[in-house]
Structure 1
């Protein structure tokens, strides 16, 4: 007997998909999330701006990390007066899990070391300070 189909947005152990390869774009997204000290996380548009990647590249990467258990997400609470927001659509915030933070650091450091051995600079640039409001 088959289990009932999952409802939209519902996740479970069967949905966990390990990360099997790491692209430069994925490393760029991880680098931004690692540098984020914002407790609520970063929303996709901000990650895209910080990485200079298109949102059509960033959002699928964030979904992959979420399915792998590296990232959690939440929609902003429009009824919370402490939420800073604009009049646009609600934002979805992404934040590294503790496991994701460890794996992200390991992935970024491994790429940095491999490139250093080859005498090449690490390709992921730091985001402009204005992206994080500093």
Structure 2
């Protein structure tokens, strides 16, 4: 299947993190969870957002310490494609497919 963005291992890792179901995913949290530098994760998130796969919004709580965070989530219209992408890559690489790929789970709100 072809995708509207370049599919790299890092891209698959980001998409997999977005499928985790966590409603408060921001760049640094995703980077830490997948073990990649935020300098590579944020551009991937921006590319995914530019092609419509990812939605983002600024943190609403202004009383939080530090700079506001930008939260990311998969667009509901692309959840199936995202699961398929991760499953294809994990199967091709011989890695076990994690439980987050079970139907009914995903990062949509």
What range is the shorter-chain TM-score in? 0.7 to 0.9
What are the Cα deviations for residues 97-133 of structure 1, in whole angstroms up to 9, with x where unaligned?
0123222101011112222xxxx335x9x9xxxxxxx
Aligned to 1:71: 54
Larger relative contact order (Cα-Cα within 8 Å, sequence gap ≥ 6): 2
Q: Aligned-pair distance for 1:78?
A: 2.8
Gaps of 5+ in 1: 1-17, 80-84, 127-134
Residue 30 (structure 2) pairs with residue 35 (structure 1): no
Q: Is the 8 A contact 1:42 1:95 kept in 2?
A: yes
Alignment coverage as a number of residue pairs: 97
Gaps of 5+ in 2: 101-109
Answer with 1 or 2: which has the greater Rg.
1
Q: Is the 8 A contact 1:36 1:42 kept in 2?
A: no
TM-score, length-scaled by structure 2? 0.77
